[in-house]
């Protein structure tokens, strides 16, 4: 059963910050692999949420110029994520 949960974005940011601060290299392979997987998944989720917000900026732009700028920013963000 694979379900999603809703947490505040600030909590996601805090979790990522804490995990980036922790040094797990002394614990051995299984723990470091699990740690890397979890941290990677959280970072991916954060990028996905950011990209979704960038896309929403296109939809809710107040003018055609703002919509064009938002679209260019979205495409750049999407390209950056694909390269990541």
SS (H, E, C) the chain: CCCCCCCCHHHHHHHHHHHHHCCCHHHCHHHHHHHHHHHHHHHHHHHHHHHHHHHHHHHCCCCHHHHHHHHHHHHHHHHHHHHC
Q: Please tell me the predicted confidence (pLDDT) of residue 84.
A: 64
Residue 58 inside a domain? The answer is yes
Average pLDDT score over the chain: 93
Residue 49 inside a domain? The answer is yes
Residue 70 inside a domain? The answer is yes
Domain holding 25, by residue range, is: 9-83
Residue 41 inside a domain? The answer is yes
Q: What is the pLDDT of residues 26-72, one digit of tens each?
A: 988 899 999 999 999 999 999 999 999 999 999 999 999 999 999 99
pTM: 0.81
Residue 39 inside a domain? The answer is yes
**How many domains are contained in the chain?**
1
Q: How many Cα neighbours within 13 Å face the side chain of 80? A: 12
Q: Please tell me the predicted confidence (pLDDT) of residue 82.
A: 78
Q: Please tell me the predicted confidence (pLDDT) of residue 28.
A: 85
Cβ-contact 57, 68 below 8 angstroms: no
């Amino acid at each position: 059963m694979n379900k999603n949960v809703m947490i505040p974005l600030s909590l996601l940011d805090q979790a990522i910050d804490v995990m980036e601060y922790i040094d797990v290299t002394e614990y051995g392979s299984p723990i470091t692999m699990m740690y890397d997987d979890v941290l990677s998944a959280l970072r991916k989720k954060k990028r996905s949420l950011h990209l979704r917000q960038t896309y929403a900026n296109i939809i809710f732009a107040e003018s055609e110029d703002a919509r064009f700028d938002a679209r260019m920013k979205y495409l750049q963000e999407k390209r950056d994520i694909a390269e990541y």
